[in-house]
Amino acid sequence: MKLDSFCVKGSEDKVTTKPHVLPIYATSSFVFEDTQQGIRIFSGEEEGHKYSRYGNPTIDAVSDKLAQMAAYGTEAKVKAYMTSSGMSAIHIALTSLVQAGDAILTQGSLYGGTTELLNTVLSKSNVSSIFTDLRDLSKVEETLANNSNIKVCYFETPSNPALTVLDIEALCAICKSKGVITIADNTFCTPYLQRPIALGTDIVIHSTTKYLSGHGNSIAGAIICQEKFAYQIWNTLKLTGSTCNAWDAWLTDQGMKTLALRMDRHSSNALHLAQFLEAHPQIQKVNYPGLSSHPEHKIAAAQMSNFGGMMSFELKGDLQRGIAFMDKLKICTQAPTLGDVDTLVLHPASSSHLRVSQDMREKNGISDTLIRMSIGIESFEDIKQDIEQALS
């Protein structure tokens, strides 16, 4: 072989013993031994990777782990697909199931991007969204009875940023009796704290960007579905090119190794902080499902193994008071994400919901002094002292 050809072809795979950590397969395509194998793989007669938009060993290993975590302790047959972001997971799950004329039943208190996706993107394909309080199950039954075009019920529990909790089992039973497909966004809990598949949900989506990865260094998502939805979801995913990449899948896998440790710590720090804040004279209200004062505390305790790291609270006073509190924090970081190892704070009225009218904000429990916190795994004392000094 000439030297110029050797430059192109000279690197051989030198793997002898199995690598301890999952390798990153940074390859767009895979090699067929001969034309016949190519035909067998493309026709589905033989299993085999062909092109990384269709699947890749790194991504598939992490997807499979997510599927097993979601179905843990059940007999459910599920498949998982990793996507380029949490938003693409939501988009793929919905667009693979609905068509023009269909409606999606959902709740007012949702991740902001999801509300926008429904109202500005899906609406263009003549898919409408009905926003209602999914905690009110008789209202859900009535809405389903009056709208036979509802194909999917899409929900989050606990919800963002008001931390309302839904009874997953009861909600999914009603939807199932009407032939409505259920999709849960389980980003806040992860399968370590809550497994909607075990409670009757058809499809679960995650922004793995948050707790599953946990270190704020990757953007990716996941769809975990009952097997009967697998082909249509995979087909939409592959044709829209929303597949995850091997690097972000690998980062997610690294993060998941400490998921249990992190979620335990996030949950215990958050519970202690919620109790501290609830007793503080300058706090109006604390929204945390682990508090016995939370309206759905009993439901949360029954369907979650712990209460997670997300909370929100209202200060006494006005908008300026909320902003002043945020600016005094030294350890807690102002960042528009959640689920990282460090404590993050967000003031929805001056950031994520700045463009939402005051009236709309109030209807969804987003007051001018509402602060959303993603409690990290630092020492509880440090988080508490930082909040204490910012309040004083």
Ligand X SMILES: *Cc1c(COP(=O)(O)O)cnc(C)c1O
Active-site amino acid positions: 53, 111, 185, 210
Smallest separation (angstroms) from ligand X to the CB of 90 = 6
Considering the complex, what minimum distance in angstroms separates the CB of residue 46 from ligand X? 34
Cα 136 to the center of its chain, rounded Å: 23
**What does the block give as tokens for 140?**
């859900």
Q: Using CB under 6 A, which of the segments 6-14, 139-147, 181-189, 300-308 binds ligand X?
A: 181-189
CB burial of 207-217 (b: ≥16 within 10 Å; e: otherwise) equals bbbbbbbbebe
How far apart CA 291 and CA 242 sit, in angstroms, is 39
Kindly determine how many residues on this chain lie close enough to bind ligand X according to the rule CB under 6 A.
16
Helix (H, G, I), strand (E, B) or coil at 173: helix
Q: State yes or no: residue 87 binds ligand X (CB under 6 A).
A: yes
Does 212 interact with ligand X (rule: CB under 6 A)? no
Q: Is 219 in the site for ligand X (CB under 6 A)?
A: yes
Report the residue number whose CB is nearest to ligand X.
86
Query: What is the nearest approach in angstroms of ligand X to the Cβ of residue 348?
Result: 13
How many alpha carbons lie under 13 Å from residue 376 in its C-beta half-sphere? 21
Q: Output 119 or 284, the one with its CB closest to ligand X.
A: 119
261 token code pair: 């440790």
Write out the binding residues for ligand X, residues 100-129 only, by CB under 6 A: 111, 113
- In whole angstroms, the minimum distance from the beta carbon of 221 to ligand X comes to 5
- Determine what percent of the chain falls in helix, strand and coil, rounding each to the nearest 5: 40, 15, 40
175 is a site residue for ligand X (CB under 6 A): no
As measured in angstroms, the least distance from the Cβ of 212 to ligand X is: 10
| Positions in 67-86 near ligand X (CB under 6 A) | 85-86
Give strand pairing partners of 311. 373
209 touches ligand X by CB under 6 A: yes
Could you say which DSSP state residue 54 is in? T
- Min CB(305)–ligand X separation in Å: 19
Q: For residue 104, give Cα distances in angstroms to 124, 146, 149, 237.
A: 14, 13, 8, 20
Q: Is the peptide bond before 196 cis (omega within 30 degrees of 0)?
A: no
Helical spans, DSSP H, in the chain: 3-9, 35-43, 57-70, 86-95, 112-116, 137-146, 168-177, 190-193, 230-240, 246-256, 259-278, 297-303, 319-328, 358-363, 380-391
Which one, 113 or 200, has the nearer CB to ligand X?
113
- 196 counts as binding ligand X under rule CB under 6 A: no
Binding of residue 211 to ligand X (CB under 6 A): no
Torsion sign, CA atoms 222, 224, 225, 230:
positive
β-partners of residue 81 are 223
Burial tier of 292 (Cβ tally within 10 Å: 0-12, 13-18, 19+): exposed
Helix (H) or strand (E) holding 221: strand 221-226
Contact call for residue 307 and ligand X (CB under 6 A): no
The CB-of-19 to ligand X minimum distance in angstroms stands at: 28
Of the pair 95, 144, the CB lying nearest ligand X is at 95
Q: With respect to ligand X, which residue has the nearer C-beta, 343 or 386? A: 343
From candidates 91, 135, 210, 372, binder to ligand X by CB under 6 A: 210
Piece in contact with ligand X (CB under 6 A), picked from 206-214, 225-233, 291-299, 349-357:
206-214
Binding of ligand X at residue 154 (CB under 6 A)? no
Binding range to ligand X, per CB under 6 A, among 134-142, 174-182, 183-191, 236-244: 183-191
Residue 364 lies near ligand X (rule: CB under 6 A): no
Binding site for ligand X (CB under 6 A): 85-87, 111, 113, 156, 160, 185, 187-188, 207, 209-210, 219, 221, 338
